[in-house]
Structure 1
Amino acid sequence: MDPVGAQPLPPPAPFMLGCRECVRLLREVADTVAADTSCLAELHAVARHIVEDHPDQIPAAHTRDCDRCPAYAARNDGDPGQLWAEHRARDLFLPEAVARLL
């Protein structure tokens, strides 16, 4: 079961609606959820796009109810591969409970 399909997707961050690529990627997520198939690759694509094309929109580190942010913050090598940034970017288009799992 896909965790995203278990709850409705929240509205995306406003800046995303003004970006054609964000809209296209979000439609792909919606299509895969509607088809009841895994959308992990599509979620990764949205987060990666935000990191690469909208870095100023990435939220700050989570300060509560996140098991992943403290581990990322403790790393000595920064954020190789931008995985922490992608983790935080998911808050912009996923329910918090789901975003914090990835």
Structure 2
Amino acid sequence: MAGEGNELPVPMPFMFTCDGCWQLLVLLARKVAADAGCFAEQINVARHIATEHPDEVPEPHGDDCPLCPKYAKLPEPADRWAEHRARDLFLPEGVARLL
């Protein structure tokens, strides 16, 4: 994720008041700072948000997201689709919408 425009954004306020969020964000930030693979850390943060903070998960993306329509067609898309949308809360858009 190194490179211009791919810096981690400032997390949403609710993430600062949740021990689970900030611990997972610290692990993610360390991997990003080390320019190491951070796929598992991204999944862990997204899964935590979708599970523990479902009211904070953003609404489905608009027509500019090629993945939302695919998630909407899955038989039980709620968990994975929520994780996909939650990535917008802690990753740059270009990275968030890769999964």
Whether the TM-score (by the shorter chain) exceeds 0.5 is yes
Deviations along 1:65-101, one digit per CA (max 9) or x if unpaired, are 21100111123x1316x11110000001111111011
Aligned to 2:16: 17
- Once residues 2 and 43 of structure 2 are traced to their aligned partners in structure 1, the CA distance between those partners, rounded to angstroms, is 16
TM-score w.r.t. the length of structure 2 is: 0.91
Provide runs of 4+ in structure 1 moved above 2 Å: none
Match of 1:60 in 2: 59
Q: 1:33-52 counterparts in 2 under 5 A?
A: 33-52=32-51
Q: For this pair of structures, how many residues does the alignment match? A: 97
Deviations 1:35-59 (CA, angstroms, capped at 9, x unpaired): 1210000000000100111011111
Amino acid at match of 2:14: F
Alpha-carbon distance in structure 2 between the residues aligned to 1:79 and 1:65: 19
Cα distance in 2, alignment partners of residues 19 and 74 from structure 1: 32
1:93 is the counterpart of 2:78: no
Q: TM-score, normalised by structure 1?
A: 0.88
Structure 2 spans left out of the alignment, 5+ residues: none
Question: Once superposed, what is the RMSD of the aligned Cα atoms?
Answer: 1.2
